[in-house]
Chains A and B, each alone.
Chain A
Amino acid sequence: MTDLTAQSRKFQKELNSGTSSLVLLSVLNRSREPMYGYQIAKMLEDNGPDLPLMKQGTLYPVLRSLEENGLLESTVEPSVSGPPRRYYKITEDGRSALTEWLEIWKQTKKFVDAILKG
């Protein structure tokens, strides 16, 4: 990330603003147990590219806004090691949104790839 120019960082940020919602919904859809922020961040890090595309701190406001829109729900539980943790779980609305978003993502990906290949 440090090698990128300011312009490229801005481009990456703009891309992330859409994809991070999709990624988070899909992670929580696949997970059987409710997950907390750090867990999700670790999971993304383990599965992601070598060069992290987004800062972990940017995931939290997205989780919060997804919850506000009713796509996720959360509970706070105390933890042994420190402050209480917020566990997120996908809702029914979230699942149906994910199905639609995946379709949009597929279309977008196909379109962009087609244009880029020329």
Chain B
Amino acid sequence: MFNTVEEYLDALKVEMKGSDSALMQDALADAREHLSTALAVARESDAELNEAEALKIIVDEYGTPEETASAYREVERRTSPSLKPTAKPRSVLSRFFGIYEDPKAWGSLLYMLISLVTGIVYFTWVVTGLSLSLSLAIFIFGLVFAIFFIFSLRGLALLEGRLVESLLGVRMPRRPLFIQKGTTWFEGLKTNLMDKRVWLALVYMFLQMPLGILYFTLTVTLFSLSIGLMAAPLLQLIMLFPIVSFGSVQYFLPIWSLPVFLLAGFLVWTATMHLGKLIGTWHGRYAKWLLVSE
């Protein structure tokens, strides 16, 4: 039925069409690991092995692509993602303020802060790696560097995926993409260069810096604004510090307005949490779109 492991994987890919792309990637990695190992064991005991026949027995024990696909879907259905909030019907007000107990909002804000650092690291790495790969291409060792750079992109993409999954709650691959063994390094490089995932990861890494700067600035600005608003009454009442100043003229706020400032600061922060969650959802979708593709 299947002459090579690759044929089985292709059939599995067809069977898993429509399921989560990250789940598919995991299923393919597991199947590849098992079938290749089983085939290698069979080959050890019989050097003149008919690969297709051996594979038939192995697949018989492993399960058809259809059975395997349904097993993954079944388990994924039973395991709910760790960040999925339990849905309860709630009023508008409690939904608005309930954001404080929503792990997804906190995760998104944390991601937005971290993305400045990761964004700069990715950008620097991509620009350095790309320019060095191109400029060293005239030397033999330039190719070695290019291979190293491309492999590092896959690693970075996996790392970013783990970050996105744990902070934004979007299912991302948990296994690195595997490249067919037994090919020469030149063929390996060729497959990599033809692989659109490598190029999409490169684009993602590149865009992550402007996005990271935007996310970080937005979070810090809104956070400072709300802290400032909340701190205003405190500064004026305790430290006798005028809040409003135009040039050399300084004003004290009327006493009645102080609770309003406190409330406004709190509302800004609550709204920031909602904005963070929204951006987190968007970014999760965008990361999945660029980093995980069939």
Contacts and interface: CB of A to CB of B under 8 A. Distances in A.
Interface of A: 17, 36-38, 41, 45, 52, 55-58, 60-62, 64-65, 68-69, 76, 79, 81-86
A17 B73 CA distance: 12
Contact of B75 (A55, A61, A85): A61
Interface string B179-208: 001000000000000000000000000000
A62 B27 CA distance: 11
Contacts of B76: 61, 65
Interface residue SS majority, chain B: helix
A79 B181 CA distance: 11
Contact of B71 (A58, A79, A83): A58
A56 B33 contact: no
Nearest to A61: B75
Interface size class of B (residues with CB under 8 A): 20 to 34
Nearest 3 pairs of A and B residues by beta carbon: A55-B63, A82-B36, A81-B40
Contact of B62 (A57, A65, A85, A86): A57
Most chain B CB within 10 A, of A56, A85, A86, is at: A56
B61 A62 contact: no
Given A61-B71, A61-B74, A76-B175, 15 more contacts: A37-B30, A41-B34, A55-B61, A55-B68, A57-B31, A60-B30, A68-B79, A68-B82, A81-B36, A81-B37, A81-B40, A82-B32, A82-B37, A82-B39, A83-B32
Contacts, number: 90
29 contacts: A36-B33, A36-B37, A37-B33, A37-B34, A38-B37, A38-B38, A41-B34, A55-B61, A56-B34, A57-B31, A57-B62, A57-B63, A57-B67, A58-B63, A60-B34, A61-B72, A61-B75, A64-B26, A64-B30, A64-B174, A65-B78, A76-B175, A76-B176, A81-B36, A81-B37, A82-B40, A84-B176, A84-B178, A85-B37
B71 A86 contact: no
A58 B67 contact: yes
A62 B76 CA distance: 9
Interface in B157-176: 174-176
A65 B68 contact: no
Contacts of B174: 64
A83 B178 contact: yes
Contacts of B32: 82-83
A62 B33 contact: no
Contacts of A76: 175-176
Contacts of A62: 75
Interface of B: 26-27, 29-34, 36-41, 61-63, 67-68, 71-72, 74-76, 78-79, 82, 174-176, 178, 181
Contacts of B79: 65, 68-69
Given A61-B76, A68-B79, A56 B36 contact: no
A58 B27 CA distance: 10
A52 B78 CA distance: 24
Contacts of B181: 82-83
